[in-house]
A and B are shown apart, each in its own frame.
Chain A
Amino acid sequence: MTQPRTYRAVGLTLRKSPAGEADLIASLYSREHGKLDVLARGARRLTSKLMGHFEPLTLVRLSIARGRTLDIVAEAEVVNAFPDVKADYASVARGLHVAELIDGFSASSASNPQVLDLALQTLDAIGKQSPAATDDHSPDLPLRYFDLQLLQLSGFLPELYQCVECGDGLEPERHRFAAGAGGALCADCITPPEIVVRPLSLPALKVLRLLHRTESVDRLPQLNMPATVQREVHGILSETLQYWLDRQLRAQSFLDAAKLA
């Protein structure tokens, strides 16, 4: 049976790159088809009907025609442009962290609607935060929730309840963490020397378990986490994400640098 010549998709734009004189290639994560690369002909022209539809972090509804190498956008309609996320550069960097990770952890044509829902809920939560949110109210907690839940949906959730080496339950204050080993370790187990092991405090372990157990980003409690715990949780999740992606997290590095500036 031949495939229909056109199909529909609703997807979040992850990134775009210029192509030819006035075209662009947009990379989207769609509910129906997973990651899609599509060609938007003439979309960089000021008078193009497609202009403005493919900015990163925009949810679009598309009608797409199958092409020889790339599929071509026939029609586009913005569903949600997340204007609050794009209101200040720190929120933009947070939003792009979401896009970067979905891009890194998803494969072409492998659809997982839960990933898209998680991304959209996280972007909503980022947009609701005030730009003046202080460290006291853990402004990056929705991002940490996204990090952990994406690891779970991708099959890379670190073990948080028992030692990954011996399988025994973790005792309070006697645990460590190794992304390369797959999660938390008890104090007694010995890992191969090439695996980096870092300390894991009880408050950080509790926050990680809370992020794991919370049903949705809207239900995250307002936590007044000390800065040291925030840094520890951030470090553990970044290390785990970078271990599986095998590269640095660019948007997060930008955000960290912007906070220091």
Chain B
Amino acid sequence: MTPDPTPGTTRSLGQLIDRLHQLPGIGPKSAQRIAYYIAHVPDDEARALADAIVAVKDMILFCDECRNLTDASPCAICANPQRNRDQICVVEESRDLVALERTRVYRGMYHVLHGTLSPLNGVGPEDIHLPQLFARLQDQDSPLQELIVATNPTLEGDATADFIYRRLAGSGIRITRLALGLPVGGSLEFADETTLSRALAGRNQLE
């Protein structure tokens, strides 16, 4: 049953506020502000927003190779012959892939897991795109040179990295993890002991 609209709003506005409130990071006040903004914009702008939401749901699919979200499979990265197929970088989410692409440093391939192992939330290896990663590695035409595990340095991200490492140990693939340590602009004084000890372990020689 649709709940009664907020006093002073109409049923349609109330429904829009409810829907917006379900989006991540949108509280009730923000939902109300956005809903009133949409009510005031010209018709074509509001329809363009609605069409964009529908188009995403109609067109987006997983790339058969890397599991990234794409309009066509294989995605632009997997279809690009200039990319280095000897390296695969494993990321948690598509937005992590976007962040790494923004660096313009990495020219290899990707694999998007769409989550991490999370014992408290009941997320196991079969619930994320890990089986597809292992199948992909088996089906490679030439042996992979390096698998870069770029999961977040959180409890769940580290557990996922460890799971991948143990599963592929002995396969001959070089498995690496992104360097862990102090962020640019950070302060040593406030760093936690785990970050500091990892920064010490991964220190580099000045050249």
Contact = CB atoms under 8 A, between A and B. Distances in A.
Interface stretch (A3-11, A47-55, A118-126): A47-55
B192 A99 contact: no
Main secondary structure of the interface of B (DSSP, over half): helix
A96 B197 CA distance: 23
Contacts of B191: 52
Interface stretch (A144-152, A187-195, A216-224, A249-257): A249-257
B25 interface: yes
Interface residues of B, number: 27
Contacts of A83: 194, 197
A99 to B, nearest CB: 7
B173 interface: no
A47 to B, nearest CB: 5
Interface string B153-195: 0110011101100100000000000000001011100111111
Nearest to A88: B162
A56 B155 contact: yes
Contacts of B195: 51-52
A46 interface: yes
A76 to B, nearest CB: 8
Contacts of B190: 49
Contacts of A15: 120
B149 interface: no
Interface of A: 15, 20-21, 46-47, 49, 51-53, 55-58, 78, 81, 83, 86-89, 92-93, 96-97, 99-100, 250-251, 253-255, 257-258, 261
Interface of B: 25, 117, 119-122, 124-125, 154-155, 158-160, 162-163, 166, 183, 185-187, 190-195, 197
26 contacts: A15-B120, A21-B25, A46-B186, A47-B185, A47-B187, A51-B195, A53-B192, A55-B155, A56-B120, A58-B194, A78-B193, A81-B192, A81-B194, A86-B158, A86-B159, A88-B162, A88-B166, A89-B159, A92-B119, A93-B159, A96-B155, A97-B119, A99-B120, A250-B119, A254-B122, A258-B124
